[in-house]
Amino acid sequence: MAPLVLSMESKGMSSGLLISVLVGGLGVGGAVGYVAGTGTAGKSAGSSAASSGPDTAWFTYDGKTYTTSSLPPQVQTNLYQAEMETYNQKIAVVREFAVRLALAQEQKKFTSVDKLPAIEELLPATQVPDDAAKAFFEANKDKIPPGTTYEQLAPRIKELLGNETRAKTFEETWQKLTTGNKLTLLVKEPAAPVVNVPIAGFPSKGSKSDKNVVVEISDYLCPHCQEVQPDMKKLMDANKDVKFVQINFALRPDKLSGAIIEGAFCAGKQGDESFWKFHDTAFSKSWGSFADEYDIAKVKPIAEAAGIKIPDWEACMKTEEPKQFVNKTKDVVNALGVTGTPTFYLNNKRLNIHRPDELAAVVQAGLVK
């Protein structure tokens, strides 16, 4: 039986992400950068026998032993992601079994652990009325391709809204189990490798010290990147003694994705304050999609809304410098083994962020005091 809840987008999916699924999937940069959500932060004990450490020996060649720490960052990241994938698959199975066990007891359907009712029986699909589905459609018309009718999307809207309610009930049950005294996970998540994240030349704000450095790798058109920004802004405002570095990684450099990041670069040529104004404006709403063609005319309104000096900005956009910066950034990010957005690092260690509202707690737990 497939686990019911595996990823962040199934737990409180925003309307924008729901629409992305309705009209053809999350697309590039959907949830790739997020670690698949298991909701396991908090109560756990013991350690993961499958997790490798920096001194784990993988092979010998020509008399030399290669450990995790001696491998390139990209390979270390790939190993870590492979471990996380296995870990998440196992924990998803455990989560579903634990929730089935709890619900079976609550609903007085428990006979024995080997005869638990299916999760579909314990969490029946929610029937979504037409009024609710139509209200969702009307509220999100601006995100739906022109010409698409309610009748075309109604079955999918009802299915997704129903599944979201079902997933919410699943998560509430899981949270109740883990915050009480009934359940403690005995396996910890694999430890992320510590790699050197090059931050020189990228925009930063906050502390000038490198004692604590948070790095965000994101794309302005990535739905999850947009979703996490309110939490990121709160984190910045509450931690003035932390350096925050922004690495804009164009998932589609030849499309609008690349054009907006080039626009951010040219805004930054007018100073850090100008960059961050452009950055916040670019994330303030959706300016397009990954399918949109490269078009500076679509980026100019962002610069105008951010109060950037347009003549200087346009002159910069006509040069090769912004494209060169985008390509250089791509090389930096690829060398780290990062393939999706958003991805976060704290003091050169990749963070496991299951949901946006976990960002602050995960960062606070890892800060050097």
Neighbour count for residue 161 (Cβ, 10 Å):
18
Distance CA 82, CA 297 (A): 41
**Which residues are paired to 213 by β-bridges?**
243
Distance CA 369, CA 361 (A): 15
CB-based contacts of 358, cutoff 8 Å, min separation 6: 41
Q: Could you give the C-alpha distances from 145 to 19, 20, 225, in angstroms and in order?
A: 10, 10, 22
Place of tokens 């037409």: 130
Q: What is the pLDDT of residues 117-157, one digit of tens each?
A: 999 899 887 889 999 999 999 988 877 888 899 999 999 99
Rounded to two decimals, the pTM is 0.74
Range 204-366 classified under CATH 3.40.30.10: yes
Q: What is the pLDDT of residues 91-112, one digit of tens each?
A: 999 999 999 999 999 999 999 9
Place of tokens 């001696």: 70
In this predicted structure, the answer to whether residue 6 has a pLDDT above a threshold of 70 is no
**HSE of 163, CA atoms in CB hemisphere, 13 A:** 15
End-to-end CA distance of the chain: 45
Distance CA 9, CA 7 (A): 6
Domain with CATH 3.40.30.10 in the chain: 204-366
